[in-house]
Structure 1
Amino acid sequence: MTQITIRRPDDWHLHLRDGAMLAGVLPETTRHFARAIIMPNLVPPVVTGAQAAAYRDRILAAMPDGADFTPLMTLYLTEDTDPNDLAAAHASGLITAVKLYPAGATTNSASGVSNFENVRAVLDRMAEIGCPLCVHGEVTDADIDIFDREAVFIDRVLDPIRRATPGLRVVMEHITTSQGADYVKSNDKDLGATITVQHLVLDRNDMLVGGMRPHYYCLPILKRGSHREALLAAATSGDKRFFLGTDSAPHPTHKKEAECCSAGCFTAPNALSILAETFAAADALNKLEGFTSLHGPAFYGLPVNQDTITLTRQAEPITWPATIPAGSETVTVFDPGFPIHWNVT
C-alpha cells in the first residue's frame, strides 16, 4: 500500500504554551489535526473556568488564517479546585476534561496534587457529571526509581482512586510501560489511554547509548525496548481503549540543549508521518485510522471528524526543518532517527 485516506485525526494530549511560543507552534498542529486536548500547565496554571476561557481566546486569536481547529480546554486539578466552578465549566462546554498532575511530576507541575484525599470531593463530582480525568501517571517519591514511577502509580494511586470513585472516566495519558497497557486492557469501561509518537518508536537506549540525546528526553521517560513493543502492540491492535495523544511539548532549543534539559518532544510537525511509517512497518496500516481518528472521539463522546486526510508513501525520505521559529527563539523538531517516507498530502 502506498496511499491511505483516513478521517482527519485529533490529538488527545497537546501542549501549546502561551505568547510567542503559542503563536509559533500552533500552526504545526492545525495543519493536520481537527481538535486537541489542551494541557493547562501554564505559569500560572489554568485552574478556573474563567482562566480556561481566557486561554481559549488566546489560542483562537493565534490561529492561522483559514485554519479549522477546535481547542478542547482542560482545568488543572489542585487541592483547592472548586467543584462548582468545574461543574459549571463542564456543563457549558467550556472544558472537556480535568488534568491531574502529581506535584513535581513534570514541567510546571508544582501546583499539582500532593494529598489525593484532598481532591476526593472533586473526583466524586466529576464522576457524577461525566467529566473525564486525564492523569499524568507517575509517583514522585524520591525513593522510587524514575523508570518505575508509572507502575507504582497504578498500584498506589490510580487503582485506589478508581475503586473509590465508581463511574469516574479516566484517561491514562502517555502510558510508557507494559504494566500501563495491561492495566487498561484489564478494565472494561471508563478507562482509556493515550500513547505518544516517541514512546512507540524509541526506547531508553535511543536516548542514552553513545551519549545523551536531550531531544529524546521526556516525562514520563523512555523505558526498555520490551515496553515499547508492548505499546506498539496496543496501538496497532485496534483496541478502542488506546488512542493518539502526541504530548507534543515545545521548549526553546537552548533549554533542551542544556546541562539540566527540559522534558518534552516537539512532534506536532511530523507525528502523522512517523505513525504511518511505524504502522506500515508493523503491517497494521489498516489500524491507523482507529488509533488517530476514531477511538479518541468514541471515548470522549464526540463525533468523528467528517473531513479526511491522505498519507502517501514517497520513494525518497521526507525532511522537515530542523527547527521552527517561536518569537526570538527556536523549537527543535523531533527527529525519530530513521527515514520517514509517508507524507500528508
Structure 2
Amino acid sequence: MTQTLTIPRPDDWHLHLRDGAMLKAVLPETARHFGRAIIMPNLVPPVVTGADASAYRDRILAAMPEGADFTPLMTLYLTEETDPEDVAKAAADGLVHAVKLYPAGATTNSASGVTDFDKVRPVLEKMAEIGLPLCLHGEVTDPDIDIFDREAVFIDRVLDPIRKATPGLRVVMEHVTTADAVAYVQGAPKDLAATITAHHLVINRNHILVGGIRPHYYCLPVAKREVHRQALVTAATSGDARFFLGTDSAPHIDALKEHACGCAGCFTATNAVSVVAEIFDRESALDQLAAFLSLNGATHYKLPVSVRTLTLRKGEHCTYPSKIDSDDGPVTVFDPGFPLHWSVTTGK
C-alpha cells in the first residue's frame, strides 16, 4: 500500500557544485529536490573574498536549469590571510552565510587551508561578533594520527580550544562520522550543530574494503566502524535540532575515482532524499524526517523554513540513474546497496 509524506522543501547544508562543465552537470541534480544549499568554496583557486563569492554565485545562477527554484548560499574559504572586514562586509551584504575552515591538506582542494589557527583568530572573533557561522572539516592532518582517529583528535586539539577562545562563535561540525562527535555536539550549548551525510548513514568502513576496494564509497572523512554509523543514525532520527542534513555530495568523474590514487567523495545529490527517507523508515522515525531535512538547518542558520513542499511516496522500488554525464566524463551516483522505496515529487 502506498504511503505519502509531505514536508517543507529540504535544504542541503553542505554541497559541492564544482565549476565549469561539472557545475552544469550536477546543479540540476540538487535543484530538483532541494530549495537551498550551503555551497562549498574549495575551488581552484578557492573562493576567498567577497568578490570571489559574488562571481561564483553568478556562475551558479547562469548554470541554473530553466524553471528551477534554487538558492545557492555562498561561503568563504578561510585562509591565514583572510581579511575580517571583507568577511563582515560580505555577510552584511547578504552574500555569504558562513565561512569554511579546512585544515590544510585534510581533503579535496584544501591546500590553501589553515595550518596555524592563531593566525585566523581575528576572523573568528569578527564572526562571533556578527553572528556568522563557522563550518569546519573536523580532522587533524598529523601523519602520526590514524585516519580513523582524526575526527576525535580534532575535537580535543582544535575545536574545543577554538570554541573556548571565541565565546559566541556559532559552529557547524560538517559531515560528522563518529560517536565522539555526536556526543560532543550533544554536550555543547546551542551554538554548536552538526551535519550528517546520507552516505554516512548507510556505509561503514567495511563497505569500502571488504571484497575489494570500492572507490565510490571512499570519502573524507572516511566511513568508520559500524558502531559509529549507528550513532549517526540515532542522532539523525532523534529529532535533536542540532543535527541536520548536509549531503557533502562531491562529484568526481569516474576516471579520477577509479584511479591508483582515487579522489575522495560520494555523489549523492541525485538520490539523497530517498536514501535518507529509507533510513528513517527503517528506524520507524518518519515523524522526524522533516526536522532533519527541512527544519533544523534553517533554524541554526537563522533562515526561514521553506514555504514550498516536497512529497515522498512509498511504493514499489524507485530507481535512479547509476551515472550522470558531464562534458568532463561520467559521474557515478551513490549506490546505497539496498532498494529505495520512497520516490520524490516536488510540491508547490
| Residue aligning to 1:327 | 327
* Cα distance in 2 for residues equivalent to 1:81 and 1:133: 14
- Whichever residue aligns with residue 226 of structure 2, its letter is G
* Higher alpha-carbon deviation: 201-210 or 44-53: 201-210
- Whichever residue aligns with residue 333 of structure 2, its letter is V
Cα deviation, residue 322, structure 1: 1.4
* Cα distance in 2 for residues equivalent to 1:110 and 1:158: 20
| Residue aligning to 1:193 | 194
| Residue aligning to 1:205 | 206
Query: Between Structure 1 and Structure 2, how many residues are aligned?
Result: 344
Cα deviation, residue 92, structure 1: 0.5
After superposition, the C-alpha distances for 1:282-309 in whole angstroms (9 at most, x for unaligned) are 0001100000000000000000000101
* Structure 1 consecutive aligned stretches of length 4 or more whose deviation exceeds 3 Å: none
| Residue aligning to 1:341 | 341
Cα deviation, residue 188, structure 1: 2.0
- Whichever residue aligns with residue 144 of structure 1, its letter is I
* Cα distance in 2 for residues equivalent to 1:321 and 1:71: 24
| Residue aligning to 2:5 | 4
C-alpha contact (below 8 Å) 2:256/2:262 kept by paired residues: yes
After superposition, the C-alpha distances for 1:153-192 in whole angstroms (9 at most, x for unaligned) are 0000000000000000000000000000000000122100
- Whichever residue aligns with residue 94 of structure 1, its letter is L
C-alpha contact (below 8 Å) 2:15/2:38 kept by paired residues: yes
Correspondence list, 1:255-266, <5 A: 255-266=256-267
Cα deviation, residue 42, structure 1: 0.1
* Cα distance in 1 for residues equivalent to 2:117 and 2:206: 34
Tell me if 1:48 matches 2:76.
Answer: no
C-alpha contact (below 8 Å) 2:267/2:334 kept by paired residues: yes
Cα deviation, residue 86, structure 1: 0.6
| Residue aligning to 1:282 | 283
Q: Gaps (5+ residues) in structure 2? A: none
- Whichever residue aligns with residue 209 of structure 1, its letter is V
Correspondence list, 1:170-249, <5 A: 170-249=171-250
- Whichever residue aligns with residue 212 of structure 2, its letter is G
Identical-residue share of aligned pairs (%)? 69
* Cα distance in 1 for residues equivalent to 2:326 and 2:39: 18
| Residue aligning to 2:318 | 318
* Cα distance in 1 for residues equivalent to 2:41 and 2:203: 26
- Whichever residue aligns with residue 290 of structure 2, its letter is E
Q: Gaps (5+ residues) in structure 1? A: none
C-alpha contact (below 8 Å) 2:22/2:328 kept by paired residues: no
Tell me if 1:168 matches 2:166.
Answer: no
* Cα distance in 1 for residues equivalent to 2:188 and 2:289: 23
SS of the equivalent of 2:61 reads: helix
Cα deviation, residue 342, structure 1: 0.7
Cα deviation, residue 328, structure 1: 3.7
* Cα distance in 2 for residues equivalent to 1:147 and 1:109: 19
After superposition, the C-alpha distances for 1:183-238 in whole angstroms (9 at most, x for unaligned) are 00001221000000111011001111111110000000000000000000000000
Cα deviation, residue 2, structure 1: 1.7
| Residue aligning to 1:308 | 309
Given the superposition, is the C-alpha separation of residues 232 and 92 from structure 1 closer, same or farther in structure 2, using an over 3 Å criterion? same
Correspondence list, 1:94-133, <5 A: 94-133=95-134
SS of the equivalent of 2:340 reads: coil
SS of the equivalent of 1:183 reads: helix
* Cα distance in 2 for residues equivalent to 1:109 and 1:82: 19
- Taking structure 1 as the reference length, the TM-score comes to 0.99
Tell me if 1:70 matches 2:68.
Answer: no
After superposition, the C-alpha distances for 1:5-28 in whole angstroms (9 at most, x for unaligned) are 100000000000000000000000
After superposition, the C-alpha distances for 1:301-344 in whole angstroms (9 at most, x for unaligned) are 000000101100122x2222111111141111110111111100
* Higher alpha-carbon deviation: 306-315 or 171-180: 306-315
